[in-house]
Amino acid sequence: MAFCGRRTEIVASAAAAHPGSIGVAIDLTDPESTAAALDTVDEEFGHVDVLVLNSGGPPPGTAGELTSGQLAESLQTLVLTQIDLVARYLPGMRERGWGRIVAVGSSGMQQPIPGLARSNASRAALAGYLKTLSAEVAGDGVTVNMVLPGKIDTDRLTQIDNARAGSTGAAVEDVRAQSQAAIPIGRYGRPEEFGAAAVFLCGEPAGYITGIQLRVDGGAVGSY
């Protein structure tokens, strides 16, 4: 298993906790960094059967303030780089007759999140691409799914809560309490709870599941 990311201390720690794994530094906004990282993965493992797509979320902002330049920047990170990764590894998966592609999305793809216009728009584009792809490759033994986190207690959520506190003048603690009160389960999700859903979709038992968006949101989105 290869853990790839910009924060080298995190990927190194994750790799150390899983024997046989490696940690690889990668910056998806830098083509040279991306190419070097993927070459390292290929040299170590030979091929990739499971590809988990993820990238950092863009800065908060309203739709009325969004510019075409900002959206283009977000599309490059959240959509185009993901397509490039799929293009690199999908042919091998199809040839071998088995593969798993799982993308980390956002519950904002089903119910747009106020103040996250760049994320809502960009991730919707990724969803359209992956849904189309899922039907094209299903017969080759490759499944394509998305896992949509709701409010998972991560640094990203802290950034969002802080931004909301700054724009409203409320205390961060009050913002978090109000946010959690709106979730039927009554709390933020734990990273390991989200991870368990992604791991399931990557495994053999999920072989008859493709083209879906699996929400892990504590029941926050008000629809099935």
17-27 per-position pLDDT tens digit:
999 999 999 88
Q: What is d(CA 5, CA 11) in angstroms, rounded to the nearest whole number?
A: 6
Model confidence at 160, in pLDDT bands (50, 70, 90)?
confident
Model confidence at 222, in pLDDT bands (50, 70, 90)?
confident
Q: Which of 101-115, 164-178, 199-213 has the highest mean pLDDT?
A: 199-213
Cα-flanking dihedrals φ and ψ of residue 55, to 5°? Answer: -155, 160
**What average pLDDT does this structure show over 25-52?**
91
Residues 50-80: pLDDT tens digits?
A: 999 998 888 889 999 999 999 999 999 899 9
**What average pLDDT does this structure show over 119-138?**
96
Specify the pLDDT at position 7.
Answer: 86
The total number of residues shown for the chain amounts to: 224
Nearest to 201 by CA among 125, 99, 127, 94: 99
Model confidence at 213, in pLDDT bands (50, 70, 90)?
very high
Residues 69-123: pLDDT tens digits?
A: 999 999 998 999 999 999 999 999 999 999 999 999 988 889 898 889 999 999 9
Q: What is d(CA 86, CA 129) in angstroms, rounded to the nearest whole number?
A: 11
Instruction: For 47-104, give the DSSP string.
Output: S-SEEEE--PPPPPB-TTT--HHHHHHHHIIIIIHHHHHHHHHHHHHHHHT-EEEEEE
Q: What is d(CA 62, CA 114) in angstroms, rounded to the nearest whole number?
A: 7
Q: What is d(CA 132, CA 114) in angstroms, rounded to the nearest whole number?
A: 27
- Please report the domains of the chain, with CATH numbers, ordered by start residue: 1-46 (no CATH), 48-216 (3.40.50.720)
Q: What is the pTM of this model?
A: 0.90
**% of the chain beyond a pLDDT of 90:** 74
